[in-house]
Amino acid sequence: MLQLSNFNMKFIYSIIITFCLFNGLAQAPGYMGKRFSAGYGFYASPGFVGSHGLTKVNILHEGFIEFAAKKNFSVGGSIRYYNARYSNDRYVKISNFDLPIDNSGYNYQQLDDNPSGITNIKGLTYTLYGKFFKKKYLAPWGRYFLLGVTLNTYVASYDSDQMYVPFEKSNGNYNEPRKNFYFTDFGPTQQSFNKIDVMIGNGRSRIIGNRIILDYGYNINLWAATTAIFDLNDEPNNGFNTSEYISGVSKVRVRAVNRFNVFIKVGVLLF
Amino acid sequence: MLFISCISYSQQNLKQNYTPLKSSGTLPDIFTQNIRNVIKDDITELNKQKEEDRGIKSNYLTAANYEIEKIVKSGNTLINDEVTTYLNELAGVILKNNPTLKNQLHIYTLKSPVVNAYSYDKGYIFIDIGLIAQAETEAQLAYILSHEISHYVKKHNINGYVKNTKIDKKNYSGKTSEDKLIEKCQYSKEYESEADIEGFKLLEQTNYDFKQAEKAFDVLQYAHLPFELVEFQKTYFNNSNYKIPDSYFLKEVSSIRNNSAEDDTKHTHPNTAKRKQAIAELISKRNNSGRVNYIIGKEKFDYIRDLSRMELCRLYLKNRDYMNAFYAAYILEKKYPQNEYVAEIMSKCMYALTLYSRGDLRYDGDSYLENGIPSYSDIESYPQQLYYLANKMPTNEWTILSMNYVYRNHKKFPNNVMINAYSDSLFKIMGNTNWEIFDFVRTNKRPDTTIVKTEVAVAKTDSGISKTDLIATIQKENNFKSYDTAYYKEIYVDLFMNDKEFTSKFPLAGIKSENSSSGFTTYTTGSSNKIYTTSKPKKDKKVKYQEIKVEKVILLDPFYLKINEKKEEEVRYVDSDTKQEKFVVTVNECAQKQNFEIVNLDPSLITSGQVDKVNDYSIMNDWFSEKFDATSNSKNPILNTNDINTLIKKYATQYVLKTGIVNYKSKRGRKATYYYAFVYDLVNNEMVYKKQEIFRGKDTKDLVNAKVYQTLFELKRLKKKI
């Protein structure tokens, strides 16, 4: 994913509104004259490829709004929410500079390669997308190809009481007891990130009772998909630096959540 | 039936004109009853009787009910008209001793030129107009009707279906499908022979002449010939200034072939010889004295038959069978020389053949005329002359002949709008050639060819003459030769001299006609110097669009069909009917949402008092019958439906929507749904909207709704290329 700093969300919303207004002038039949729809979407993806999640399935919840702008095209915006926990199973590289200076002659010995505990990631994915319906179908009904841009905003947090790397300190004297030390400083306990990606997909929407939309299909985030092969072995040679551990690990996991999803959406044709 | 018998008609005066047959009165129950309930009741009744083969019979009842409904509501079935009433009267004579059976019958006339009759379950009997036109006597018609009644009484239709189904299901290892056909035909022939005998027994209960039963088979045998054998006069088109050369006629027409004893192994009916023999044996054992050809009356029979013959001309035209239409009208003209309708039919035929021979009328693979005017060699007897003439006469000469014929008919019936239109259109054809008044007025004296020949001879022997000079001389000679064959030069002389209208309408040299005011094919302007050719329009590279905005359409017979190959009864009649009902509702709902006006012209929605809608439906079907036979994108003039303008005015729209859905499930379980919608502009004779799409999957409600809504949405914003 590309880093998106200082991204102005107002800009995204203004694009959506302008697009809707512009296309509102175009003539589109919609479904029985109805062109606006809104609803809920349920996304899921397998939680075992490059994610190291504690669950087998990643689950996302979405709220969406769509507008049939043209005969074979509808534009939509959505917000997807997910909350995932991941085990800290990546190697962390803790240098002497990261450790407190001990003048008593004790030396640090790292007992574990990776931190204990979990990292919690809460994400919101803002998506602006277009649905390109196949020739004989009509937005918002039928088979379509999906193309959009996504903005992944997420907060990765950890509990310093739970997330640590145990050390043992000894001064070389076997008669002296060893001391335990726990390294817990992986940067701020809550870290926010924004990433953008390009989303494609395929789907099909059905209309039930002239009112309810049932939409199902799959989507792929292209950048996330492209990096999939690298994410399988995402550790730097000597592990992550302590300050980059959360950002480095979480971005891989966020990509894993968004890489490929199947979805089913239920919506209502509004007007 | 009681009501029908009470209807009295004022007879048409065929000496002057003929009004095409139309349905009238109250429509029968089949129009108002729910077909699904009827089938349900029939199957319940079948199950109560605990007959054999109930499964097959149940399928039959479903199919037969739909088939009957389809025929009755097709627009081709005449209801309570003069001919149908007469046939019912005739049935009354045959069954005067069996009123119960008479009341079970539903006899209708079918507007078809075919010479046939059909008997279905539940007493439905359909007699083709073509058959009535061919019948020679009332007794013959009575015997044919008796034959069909016997089919019903003996339940041949349902039993035949059961037997055919069993044959299809039989394990025919090592045998071909031809073996199946032969076995089926064998059963069919047995039923036909039984109906012949039983029909004869019914005839016995009347006072009709038995010999006419035997003669009825001759009528069927020679049904391919015109209804009367009238010689085609070689002088028919001639006048004092015009004589068609003898070379355009055969010296002798072919004889009529007798194939009454043909091999009938693969025929559903025994050959005529066998049938005649069986009846002759019965007659020989009966006393035929005192029996008559007419009970209702000769005058009535002749009148009904003439009505049928008049109608037959129209039906031939509808099928673009211009030669048969012309010949039928030619025969009728002998009896009714002042009949305007007959003149109109003949004018239409001449006009249509002109367009056809010039390539301005084109038909596709379903048409009678796909491969051109039928060869004269296949035609028997007198009509062969007409076929020969049409085949041999060059297009340009036929055009001259046609214009002469149609214009003179126009003068005979100046108030006939159609003849006038054809005449005007022919003038426009002339206007797009290099013919001019001068060519027809001047009496060209034949040049002295001996001089020319001498010149040529000299030229050829003179070694000093140039090549180009020699060519010019030869061309000159050839030009003189063409004068020799110009037998038609003086065809219009009397008209030019005495008819101001003709002179004013006849195009001046070099002035090409613009759009036709008659609504027929437009002949475009051109500057070709080639003799006797029409020029093609220049192509305009810029495509312009014109907004049409269709806001009201006549919804013509929406169609819904479900087929499931996995089922024994592949055509799902009941499901189709249910879906069709819903489809009509959907179309109307979608129209309502868009303030789109729909006029339903759908037989399934017609109530018992709406006989006018049945007639309108029939007119509309006739129009489409010809339209659909044309090659795609062609604007062939629709020649055979005069009343279409009345319908346009009546329903206040010139647009007709034909739409439907076919849902198909294959043996492998694959599903597909085909949706179509076509909109035709009746005034401009063109298709203005076309949508055909195939979807994989079921015919779900959202699919139907979306497509119908889209169709109407697009119609309101329609643009066409100009």
Percent of chain B clearing pLDDT 90 (strictly above)? 43
Look at A18-27, A192-201, B145-154 and tell me which has the smallest mean pLDDT: A18-27
Q: Which residues of A70-96 are buried (b: 16+ CB within 10 A; e: fewer)?
A: bbbbbbbbbebebebebebebbbbbee
| Amino acid identity for residue B398 in this structure | W
Phi, psi of B113 (to 5 degrees): -75, -5
User: In chain B, which residue's Cα lies nearest the Cα of A142?
Assistant: B703
Q: Which residues, other chains included, contact B70 with Cβ-Cβ below 8 Å and sequence gap of 6+?
A: none
B706 to A210: CB separation less than 8 angstroms, yes or no: no
Look at B305-319, B320-334, B613-627 and tell me which has the smallest mean pLDDT: B613-627
Task: Quote the pLDDT of residue B113.
Answer: 94
Q: What is the pLDDT of residues B37-90, one digit of tens each?
A: 888 898 888 888 877 888 888 888 888 898 898 898 888 999 999 999 999 999
Which residues from B are below 8 Å from A210, CB to CB?
A: 701-702, 705
In SS3 terms, B545-558 reads as EEECCCCEEEEECC
Measured CA to CA in angstroms, residue B36 lies from B353, B563, B569, B572 at distances of 47, 17, 16, 12
Which residue of B710, B712, B718 is the best one to mutate when testing the A interface, meaning the one whose CB has the most A CBs within 10 A? B710
- Highest mean predicted confidence (pLDDT) among B42-46, B363-367, B648-652: B648-652
| Residue range B459-464: mean pLDDT, rounded | 44
Task: Quote the pLDDT of residue B340.
Answer: 96
Percent of chain B clearing pLDDT 70 (strictly above)? 83
Decide if B588 touches A, using CB distance below 8 A. Answer: no
Q: Judge whether residue A125 has pLDDT over 60.
A: yes
Look at A31-35, B427-431, B485-489 and tell me which has the smallest mean pLDDT: B485-489
Q: Which residue has the higher pLDDT, B28 or B449?
A: B28
Q: What is the pLDDT of residues B515-547, one digit of tens each?
A: 433 334 333 323 332 223 333 445 555 667 777
- Highest mean predicted confidence (pLDDT) among A141-145, A233-237, B513-517: A141-145
Distance from CA of A268 to the nearest CA of B (A): 14
Task: Quote the pLDDT of residue B579.
Answer: 93
- Give the one of A29, A136, A208 whose C-beta lies nearest to B709's C-beta: A29
DSSP-based three-state secondary structure for B664 = strand
What long-range pairs does B572-580 form, CB within 8 A, spacing at least 24?
Answer: B573/B39, B573/B62, B573/B63, B573/B65, B573/B66, B574/B36, B574/B39, B574/B62, B577/B35, B577/B36, B577/B66, B578/B36, B579/B661, B579/B663, B579/B699, B580/B604
Q: Judge whether residue A44 has pLDDT over 80.
A: yes
Distance from CA of B699 to the nearest CA of A (A): 12
For residue A208, name the pLDDT band (cuts at 50, 70, 90).
very high
Q: Judge whether residue A61 has pLDDT over 60.
A: yes
A29 to B714: CB separation less than 8 angstroms, yes or no: yes
Q: Judge whether residue A7 has pLDDT over 90.
A: no
Q: What is the pLDDT of residues B251-299, one digit of tens each?
A: 988 888 877 767 777 777 788 888 888 888 888 888 888 899 999 999 9
Which residues from A are below 8 Å from B590, CB to CB?
A: 32
* CB proximity under 8 Å: A 134-153 to B: 136-138, 141-142
For residue A58, name the pLDDT band (cuts at 50, 70, 90).
confident
**Among candidates B135, B150, B148, which has minimal Cα distance to B294?**
B135
Count of alpha carbons within 13 Å of A25, Cβ hemisphere only? 4
Yes or no: say if B242 and B393 are a contact pair by the CB < 8 Å rule: no
User: In chain B, which residue's Cα lies nearest the Cα of A32?
Assistant: B709
| Residue range A173-198: mean pLDDT, rounded | 84
Task: Quote the pLDDT of residue A215.
Answer: 96
Decide if A211 touches B, using CB distance below 8 A. Answer: no
User: In chain B, which residue's Cα lies nearest the Cα of A213?
Assistant: B702
CA A32/CA B259 separation, integer angstroms: 62
| Amino acid identity for residue B576 in this structure | S
Which residues from A are below 8 Å from B707, CB to CB?
A: 138
User: In chain A, which residue's Cα lies nearest the Cα of B591?
Assistant: A32
Which residues from B are below 8 Å from A26, CB to CB?
A: none
Chain centre distance of CA A208: 31
| Amino acid identity for residue A159 in this structure | D
pTM of the model: 0.79
Task: Quote the pLDDT of residue B424.
Answer: 92
Task: Quote the pLDDT of residue B468.
Answer: 54
Decide if B709 touches A, using CB distance below 8 A. Answer: yes
Kind of pairing between the strands at B77-78 and B106-110: antiparallel
Task: Quote the pLDDT of residue A105.
Answer: 72
Q: Which residue has the higher pLDDT, A5 or B155?
A: B155
CA A127/CA A43 separation, integer angstroms: 14
Decide if B710 touches A, using CB distance below 8 A. Answer: yes
B706 to A71: CB separation less than 8 angstroms, yes or no: no
Q: Judge whether residue B699 has pLDDT over 90.
A: yes
CA B513/CA B500 separation, integer angstroms: 19
Decide if A85 touches B, using CB distance below 8 A. Answer: no
| Residue range B627-633: mean pLDDT, rounded | 66
Look at A260-269, B462-471, B511-520 and tell me which has the smallest mean pLDDT: B511-520
What is the rounded average pLDDT for all residues in chain B? 83
Q: Judge whether residue B450 has pLDDT over 50.
A: no
A136 to B695: CB separation less than 8 angstroms, yes or no: yes
| DSSP 8-state code for residue B381 | S
Element holding B657 (H helix, E strand): strand B655-665
Joined together, the tokens standing for residue A105 give 């002659």
| Residue range A199-222: mean pLDDT, rounded | 94
Yes or no: say if A20 and B581 are a contact pair by the CB < 8 Å rule: no
Decide if A33 touches B, using CB distance below 8 A. Answer: yes
Task: Quote the pLDDT of residue A10.
Answer: 59
Which residue of A138, A143, A269 is the best one to mutate when testing the B interface, meaning the one whose CB has the most B CBs within 10 A? A138
- Give the one of A27, A137, A210 whose C-beta lies nearest to B705's C-beta: A210
Integer-rounded Cα Rg, in Å, for chain A is 24
A141 to B702: CB separation less than 8 angstroms, yes or no: yes
Task: Quote the pLDDT of residue A1.
Answer: 45
Decide if A32 touches B, using CB distance below 8 A. Answer: yes
Which residues from B are below 8 Å from A207, CB to CB?
A: 701-702, 705-706
- Give the one of B695, B702, B710 whose C-beta lies nearest to A207's C-beta: B702
What long-range pairs does B403-408 form, CB within 8 A, spacing at least 24?
Answer: B403/B354, B403/B427, B403/B429, B403/B430, B404/B237, B404/B242, B404/B491, B404/B492, B405/B237, B405/B346, B405/B347, B405/B350, B406/B347, B406/B350, B406/B351, B407/B495, B407/B502
Q: Judge whether residue B170 has pLDDT over 80.
A: no
For residue B365, name the pLDDT band (cuts at 50, 70, 90).
low
Q: Judge whether residue B507 has pLDDT over 60.
A: yes
Distance from CA of A18 to the nearest CA of B (A): 25
Task: Quote the pLDDT of residue B345.
Answer: 95
Distance from CA of B543 to the nearest CA of A (A): 22
Kind of pairing between the strands at B117-119 and B124-128: antiparallel
CA B330/CA B350 separation, integer angstroms: 12
For residue B484, name the pLDDT band (cuts at 50, 70, 90).
very low
- Give the one of A29, A207, A208 whose C-beta lies nearest to B710's C-beta: A29
Distance from CA of B423 to the nearest CA of A (A): 46
CA B73/CA B30 separation, integer angstroms: 9
Q: Sign of the C-alpha dihedral, residues B105, B106, B112, B118?
A: negative
Q: Which residue has the higher pLDDT, A235 or A31?
A: A31
Yes or no: say if A268 and A37 are a contact pair by the CB < 8 Å rule: yes
- Give the one of A31, A136, A207 whose C-beta lies nearest to B693's C-beta: A136
Decide if B700 touches A, using CB distance below 8 A. Answer: yes
User: In chain B, which residue's Cα lies nearest the Cα of A31?
Assistant: B706
What angle in degrees, to the nearest 10, is found between the helix axes of B298-318 and B611-629?
A: 40
- Highest mean predicted confidence (pLDDT) among A150-164, B220-234, B323-337, B345-359: B323-337
Q: Which residue has the higher pLDDT, A136 or B721?
A: A136
Decide if A216 touches B, using CB distance below 8 A. Answer: no
So what's the ipTM on this one? 0.80
* CB proximity under 8 Å: B 590-609 to A: 590, 593-594
**Among candidates B628, B604, B514, B712, which has minimal Cα distance to B70?**
B604
* CB proximity under 8 Å: A 168-207 to B: 206-207
Task: Quote the pLDDT of residue B8.
Answer: 53
Q: Judge whether residue B605 has pLDDT over 90.
A: no
For residue B482, name the pLDDT band (cuts at 50, 70, 90).
very low
Look at B217-231, B536-550, B624-638 and tell me which has the smallest mean pLDDT: B536-550
Distance from CA of A77 to the nearest CA of B (A): 23
- Highest mean predicted confidence (pLDDT) among A92-96, A174-178, A267-271, B365-369: A267-271
- Give the one of A32, A206, A207 whose C-beta lies nearest to B593's C-beta: A32
**Among candidates B599, B610, B693, B603, which has minimal Cα distance to B655?**
B599
| Residue range A130-158: mean pLDDT, rounded | 93
Task: Quote the pLDDT of residue B585.
Answer: 93
Q: Judge whether residue A11 has pLDDT over 90.
A: no
Q: What is the pLDDT of residues B392-425, one digit of tens each?
A: 998 888 999 999 999 999 999 999 999 999 999 9
What is the rounded average pLDDT for all residues in chain A? 83
**Among candidates B11, B14, B62, B18, which has minimal Cα distance to B36?**
B62
| Residue range A62-67: mean pLDDT, rounded | 95
Q: Judge whether residue A144 has pLDDT over 90.
A: yes
Q: Judge whether residue B642 has pLDDT over 80.
A: no
Which residues from B are below 8 Å from A33, CB to CB?
A: 593-594, 709
Distance from CA of B702 to the nearest CA of A (A): 6
| Residue range B218-232: mean pLDDT, rounded | 89
| Residue range A138-156: mean pLDDT, rounded | 93
- Give the one of A32, A71, A136 whose C-beta lies nearest to B705's C-beta: A32
Distance from CA of B562 to the nearest CA of A (A): 21
User: In chain A, which residue's Cα lies nearest the Cα of B594?
Assistant: A33
Kind of pairing between the strands at B686-696 and B671-681: antiparallel
**Among candidates B419, B414, B442, which has minimal Cα distance to B344?**
B419
In SS3 terms, chain A reads as CEECCCCCHHHHHHHHHHHHHHHHCCCCCCECCECEEEEEEEEEEECCCCCCECCCEEEEEEEEEEEEEECCEEEEEEEEEEEEEEECCCCEECCHHHCCCCCCCCEEEECCCCCCCEEEEEEEEEEEEEEEECCCCECCEEEEEEEEEEEEEEEEEECCCCCCEEEEEECCCCCCCCEEEEECCCCCCEEEEEEEEEEEEEEEEEEECCCEEEEEEEEEEHHHHHCHHHHCCCCCCCCEEHHHHHHHHHHHHHHHHHHEEEEEEEEEECC
Q: Which residue has the higher pLDDT, B578 or B9?
A: B578
Yes or no: say if B533 and B23 are a contact pair by the CB < 8 Å rule: no
Chain centre distance of CA B518: 23
Which residues from A are below 8 Å from B695, CB to CB?
A: 136
